A = this chain, B = another copy of it.
């Protein structure tokens, strides 16, 4: 990722932080990654609520919500930016990066992904939490062939779970599917928003684990994330998705994520 525009530690601009932290030594902390446009963080309330919930799930003392809002307010002067907010031991680290680079292809044509050789370990005590133990994602983010924008990870039962930095959805016979995240994976805020929008729009939604073959047999497939909104999947390894993607397009419209409207992409 590009160099940080600014870093705040407990609300103060810094370049350094205390050397001793349970975040570094054990990964005992949680974080969120968010997109800010014109000083407004997308889905800020949901993001901060999930940060607090994840901290509680680890038994951590979460920072007070007004402090977290103050952090986002202090980022507002940067206008368009990628915001990472991390908390460990009730300390807050706010990292401000430039927004994702422009480019429109993924929004319409979709991206190509590989199936990662990394299998996610099943740990129900940590599943769904966006904590700082991210070595599986680190390993799965390596050695992508040219033209590949994401890697999909499966679990120890041979079922797809998520991408390295995104949640996974597919559509089959007009039903929207996404893997359950009760054994591994990270439950993203955009995943929740897409599920809520789909239900409100009368699209049948099923949350549950299924084999890779179900994903491959889908009519449409896409990834969700706070920076990317909804990215259609046009290929997984040598398998290509064809067709009009009516439900993907509809959900992109309902979500209204600026990365799916303004030509913005991430890499």
Q: Which residues of A contact B (CB under 8 A)?
A: 4, 7, 9, 14-28, 31, 58-59, 84, 86, 88, 93, 95, 118-119, 121-123, 125-126, 131-139, 142, 156, 184
User: Within the complex, what minimum Cβ distance (angstroms) separates A181 from chain B?
Assistant: 14
Contacts of A9 in B (CB 8 A): 19
Q: Is the CB of A142 within 8 A of B59?
A: yes
Q: Is the CB of A19 within 8 A of B21?
A: no
What are 23 inter-chain pairs, A to B, with CB distance below 8 A? A7-B19, A7-B20, A14-B19, A16-B16, A16-B19, A22-B138, A24-B86, A24-B132, A25-B134, A26-B27, A26-B138, A27-B27, A27-B132, A27-B133, A28-B135, A59-B142, A121-B121, A121-B184, A125-B136, A125-B139, A131-B135, A133-B133, A133-B134
Q: Is the CB of B17 within 8 A of A134?
A: no
How far apart sit A27 and B137, CA to CA, in the bound complex (Å)?
A: 11
Contacts of A95 in B (CB 8 A): 19-20
Given contacts A19-B16, A20-B7, A24-B86, contact A135 B133 (CB under 8 A): yes
Per assembly, the copies of the chain total 2
Contacts of A20 in B (CB 8 A): 4, 7, 95
User: Within the complex, what minimum Cβ distance (angstroms) separates A267 from chain B?
Assistant: 18
Q: Is the CB of A125 within 8 A of B118?
A: yes
How far apart sit A136 and B16, CA to CA, in the bound complex (Å)?
A: 28
With both beta carbons as reference points, the residue of chain B lying nearest to A129 in the complex is identified as B135
Q: Is the CB of B26 within 8 A of A135?
A: yes
Contacts of A134 in B (CB 8 A): 25-28, 133
Known: A14-B19, A23-B24, A121-B184. 6 other contacts (CB 8 A): A7-B20, A15-B19, A17-B17, A17-B18, A25-B31, A27-B133
How far apart sit A254 and B23, CA to CA, in the bound complex (Å)?
A: 38
With both beta carbons as reference points, the residue of chain B lying nearest to A15 in the complex is identified as B19
Q: Is the CB of B28 within 8 A of A138?
A: yes
Contact of A121 among B23, B84, B88, B123 (CB under 8 A): B123
Contact of A122 among B26, B88, B118, B121 (CB under 8 A): B121
With both beta carbons as reference points, the residue of chain B lying nearest to A58 in the complex is identified as B135
Task: Kindly name the residue among A4, A86, A126 whose own CB sees the greatest number of chain B CB atoms within 10 A.
Answer: A126
User: Within the complex, what minimum Cβ distance (angstroms) separates A148 from chain B?
Assistant: 18
